[in-house]
Amino acid sequence: MGKRETHMILKAENNRVHGSGGCNTFNGSYELKEGNRISFSKIASTLMACENMETEAQFFKVLEMADNYFISADTLILNRVKMAPLARFEAVYFK
């Protein structure tokens, strides 16, 4: 299977997250807390092997490490306290 674009979708109505790490699809849960804190849990993914899986491995590590977020316009930034931003995501709107 070909490489997909890395992305995630956060569903507010049931606090679910799903998307693609670039090769494997994933799903799980997230929780928002006071003070722009966030945590991801119960992340499960398919187990396909693809070329150059380093980006995907780093993406899943970001979900594991992130503990706070910042939103600026259409950009979501995931952070870990006292570290540089872990990842930036740009919103894409579907019709």
pLDDT in tens, 29-88: 999 999 999 999 999 999 998 887 898 999 999 999 999 999 999 999 999 988 889 999
The model's pTM: 0.82
Question: Does 5 score more than 90 pLDDT?
Answer: no
Domain of residue 39, residue span: 7-90
Domain total of the chain: 1
Q: Is residue 2 part of a domain?
A: no
Query: What is the rounded CA–CA span in Å between residue 61 and residue 38?
Result: 14
Mean pLDDT of 18-35: 95
41 and 57 in contact (C-beta within 8 Å)? no
Q: Is residue 95 part of a domain?
A: no
Whether 28 is in a domain gets the answer: yes
1 domain residue, yes or no: no
pLDDT score at 92: 85
Q: Is residue 82 part of a domain?
A: yes
Neighbours of 78 (CB within 10 A): 20
**CA dist., res. 86 & res. 95, Å (int):** 29
Rounded to the nearest angstrom, the gap between the alpha carbon of residue 28 and the centroid of all alpha carbons in its chain is: 10
d(CA 10, CA 1): 25
CATH number at residue 58: 2.40.128.270
**DSSP summary character for residue 16:** E
